[in-house]
Structure 1
Amino acid sequence: MQNSKQNQTNRVVSWLLNAAKLIGLFVLYQLAMIPTMLPSIMHKTSGIGVVLSALASLVLLGLLIWWLIWLYRRQTPMVSRLPRPTRPIWGLVGMFALLEFGNVLSGLVVQQTPENQVILDKVFATNPVLNVILMALLAPIIEELIFRGLMYRWLFPRLTSWGRLVIAVAFSSILFALAHTTTFSPAIIAYLPIAIVLNLTYVWFNDIRYSLALHIINNSVAVIGMFALLSH
């Protein structure tokens, strides 16, 4: 009995430590983004300062990606009870269609622009090229490694029952949505569709490449929309 209680305590402590490590990694991600925001805060849209800020963020984010990949590869793969799709491409197409349907519904419900999107719009206006690289490629890589790869391998390594699966997807989806807002506002709903679909994709395929591909496609579509708005 004593050993059982001790093992349970050790598991709880380990889970909390892993959760703290995930928070720390997300904080590092936000710190690496600071140089990209400085030109918009200082109302500068050109000059050597903008270029240096962009290069600083690209270097910091590149180093962070390298470290996250190293951490991810060192972890034991997640065990899932879901069978992998027999036709991965069609499965990915179906998940993308589900994601777009969710985005449309959330757009009808939420009229408020999320704080994260407001910040991205300012960065986009200051340095469109940097924003394309950041939003369409680097951000998806970092966020998938943190919110799908490491989170599941550290916090939910064995999804051997439907209960565990539902709890894991719900927890990680809410955390992902909260990470993209600065306040507990209705704008959180805008991020729930992509959060849920990305988590389901990762759990279903049990391969981070598919959720990463879906994340990049979704963000690339958003970048194209931002370019279209600027051109008008």
Structure 2
Amino acid sequence: MKIVLNSIKVIGLILLSLVCNIIPMYLLQYQNKLSLPAKWGLGLVYIVLIILVIYFLWQAHKKHDSAEVATQKMTAKDIGIALLFFLVARVVAITGTLINQILSGQSTTTNDAALQSLTAFFKNGFFLYTLLYVILVGIVGPIIEEMAYRAFPNHLWFKNSHKVLAGIITTLLFAFPHATTLFEFVLYACIGAILYLAYARRGNIKDSMLVHILNNLPTALYFLFIALK
């Protein structure tokens, strides 16, 4: 019974992360149908929502951390290792994108293409929504996804043990909503595996959050450049 309840919690957290990701996308697409007060109101409501979601998820996550993990600091060595994980993830992503182009003729994955397509709404748009979208891609999305796809499944299903099985399951969970083809699934599973290894190294979700942010940051900065151009 407990495993069923914990599974419902994990599914709920994944759905929550998807909702948090989708809201700025809808705000961008429907911004021209909103009055200025409505734009500000919905934007501020989303900001409050994200702050509350991250705060309560983090508080719940800390209850599962061991005393050793809770006292860990992010040192220069840890940042350096995170950079190495990031570089490996970039090599995998670039190689995978090139193979995907050969196999499908598409220059990018469906997920990345969908993200980039929303930049069309930047021009003459409500800048707060553009900024929220950029921050979502670069920072907010990675933070919430790391808790939803890695930390809590690890806590609730594996009790911070069975690391190999936990890595496989959480990697598959991460890949599933990001992919639309078998090859994309394999590609995102590889990236998810790298993120899991970053997390499993010390059992500290901050490590995989940092790698995930570094991985998404170039795209976010590119989107910001488009918005400011």
Tell me the TM-score normalised to structure 1 length.
0.76
- The Cα shift of 1:229 comes to 6.0
Q: Where does structure 2 lack aligned partners over 5 or more consecutive residues? A: 70-74, 122-128
RMSD of aligned residue pairs (Cα, Å): 3.1
- The Cα shift of 1:178 comes to 0.9
Aligned residue type for 1:93: L
Aligned residues of 2:111 and 2:178 also touching (Cα < 8 A) = yes
Which whole-Å deviations, capped at 9, do the CAs of 1:73-120 have from their partners, x for residues lacking one? 22254999xxxx994233223212211111112111223444433443
Determine the C-alpha separation between the residues in 2 that align with 1:141 and 1:158. Answer: 19
1:150 counterpart residue number: 152
Aligned residue type for 1:146: A
Aligned residue type for 1:29: S
Cα 1:121–1:56, aligned 2, differ >3 Å: closer, same or farther? farther
Which whole-Å deviations, capped at 9, do the CAs of 1:14-64 have from their partners, x for residues lacking one? 233212201112222333444423344437398624444332322222211
Determine the C-alpha separation between the residues in 2 that align with 1:123 and 1:69. Answer: 29
Tell me the TM-score normalised to structure 2 length.
0.77
1:3 counterpart residue number: none
Cα 1:41–1:152, aligned 2, differ >3 Å: closer, same or farther? same
Q: How many residues are matched?
A: 211
Which whole-Å deviations, capped at 9, do the CAs of 1:175-227 have from their partners, x for residues lacking one? 1011224x455332342232111100000121111111111111111212334
> Taking every aligned residue pair, what percent have the same amino acid on both sides?
25
Query: Which of these two proteins has the greater Rg computed from alpha carbons?
Result: 1
2:164 counterpart residue number: 166
Q: Where does structure 1 lack aligned partners over 5 or more consecutive residues? A: 1-12
2:25 counterpart residue number: 37
1:9 counterpart residue number: none
Determine the C-alpha separation between the residues in 2 that align with 1:227 and 1:45. Answer: 23
1:75 counterpart residue number: 64
- Superposition map of 1:1-232 within 5 A: 13-42=1-30, 44=32, 48=36, 49-77=38-66, 87-111=77-101, 112=106, 113-126=108-121, 127-159=129-161, 164-181=162-179, 183-227=180-224
Cα 1:78–1:184, aligned 2, differ >3 Å: closer, same or farther? farther
Determine the C-alpha separation between the residues in 1 that align with 2:119 and 2:46. Answer: 14
Aligned residues of 1:79 and 1:158 also touching (Cα < 8 A) = no
